[in-house]
Structure 1
């Protein structure tokens, strides 16, 4: 047996013992009681346990998800999610969660538990560093596992977007900017095609997006543009959405040419803006209708 094999055997034994002793959930629960250095060490240990694999299997991941040695400790993941209530431990908990959410079984635990909805509070409340870290974790959870997230959004569509749209009108500038940017990523992901078509069928969503185009922040305006273009480019617009665009056509045709004029060197943005102007100009006209020259 090589030295490497001996080390692997030792690490395997440590991982097995850690699971047998419920070390992961115990440390997760005890994080608030530890001092700063001990929390750092605990974070390092738990992340190492999550990453360790033997024969392409993560022992601790399987244990937490209930697929190894009879273990089933989803409470460990949920304890870490709820730790965003504690500003002192949220950074450590967030580091562990970001590592945990790389694994689909653990991301599933967080998505389908009622505590998931607390993220909508965490990302816009409390200290700046805590809310920013919570949003990074929130984004990881909603973008890492495409099929899982698409299934979740389909089964929780109304509740999710009711709460998500509230983030888009938040008084917190950072929350608003991050949320509109993430919305664009979610809608433009191929795995979320059905979610995207449902979202852009709503005239209320279009109204919200058009309001964000006029937000006082240029960064929010720019990110809103990337959502707005999905509404306009959709070849199968719902009647209410098409009617709303037609109603606002003249205003949009005056507004968009001046929209972020300073981005003269952004070729893709200007091409997209020109495309949208063309599409808006042709709204309501029958197929094959001659375009204005």
Structure 2
């Protein structure tokens, strides 16, 4: 039996008919094997996309779109769509990710019905985060997660969940595309909702910065560079002022920054762009370094690192004159 709703014979299906057809075809993936079951499911997802966004000739009916969103939540199809995403082809996953973004935007009486559904089924968010480990669906999951992060309650859940720590691994994955996508999601989590992020950073300060320090000291140059840049961005946001003041009072973090600066300055094969940045900003850098307090005891190495950096910057300035 085919679970694909044949639009051609009866015109467009009603929201209830379409959602039922989608549900039946997705459930069939668990009980049937072969290309036919997958074909039915993907045709239904494609029909869902056309109904939600139009097909280039017919514009979507907004009332019908809203009814589909309500029906999808009522029938638990939103969960089925996520759970069966790994079974779909590249095109099917692309259609699903598109439908996801449209569905999340649907509102009833100022409430986002699909967002509310996810709030009551937060395991879907954990599933999407973990899917970054799956090479085939990682980028689709990244797109879907970033759609979720637009909504404060969903972003807050991810930040406070145990799944959040996985991003510190994902941004260092060997696959550049996936690592970059994970970094984009990570950035959205820490910038989209300033008040919630500030509260999270304050209440999870030690845990968060212990993990972040691993990125700052990574053996991967790109990871170190991106981590330093992003750290300065979110610490300088107004709601994070108290977090920044707390951070810059800790000598251990200062030592890390000095070592990172040394890596750039002491590199005998510095790219021209790096040299130009150091030369252009030499006055500010030297002033900052000279104003650092003298180290004592274990912190005496900080003085040695500082002196080396100062000498290297001065050499660069003199050679550029």
TM-score under structure 2 length normalisation: 0.67
The structure with the largest alpha-carbon Rg is 2
Distance 1:252 1:171, change over 3 A: closer
Cα contact 1:80–1:93 (8 A) shared by 2: yes
Tell me the number of residue pairs that the alignment of Structure 1 and Structure 2 aligns: 246
Distance 1:115 1:146, change over 3 A: same
Q: Report the secondary structure of 1:214's partner residue.
A: helix
Shift of 1:51: 2.1
Task: Show structure 2 runs of 5+ residues with no match.
Answer: 1-59
Distance 1:176 1:36, change over 3 A: same
Instruction: Summarize the alignment of residues 53-68 of structure 1 with structure 2, pairs less than 5 Å apart.
Output: 53-65=107-119
Cα contact 1:150–1:191 (8 A) shared by 2: yes
Q: Report the secondary structure of 1:43's partner residue.
A: helix
**Which residue of structure 2 aligns with residue 26 of structure 1?**
80
Shift of 1:35: 1.0
Shift of 1:164: 0.5
**Which residue of structure 2 aligns with residue 51 of structure 1?**
105
Q: Deviations over 1:66-115 (max 9, x none)?
A: xxxxxx11111111111001011000000011111011011011111101
Shift of 1:62: 2.0
CA RMSD of aligned residues (A): 3.3
Determine which of 253, 262, 267 is the counterpart of 1:205: 253
**Which residue of structure 2 aligns with residue 9 of structure 1?**
63
**Which residue of structure 2 aligns with residue 125 of structure 1?**
173
Instruction: State the distance in 2 between where 1:187 and 1:58 align.
Output: 31
Instruction: State the distance in 2 between where 1:95 and 1:141 align.
Output: 13
Tell me, yes or no, if structure 1 residue 166 matches structure 2 residue 214. yes
Instruction: State the distance in 1 between where 2:235 and 2:300 align.
Output: 20
Shift of 1:149: 0.6
Determine which of 85, 91, 102 is the counterpart of 1:37: 91
Task: Show structure 1 runs of 5+ residues with no match.
Answer: 1-5, 66-71, 265-293
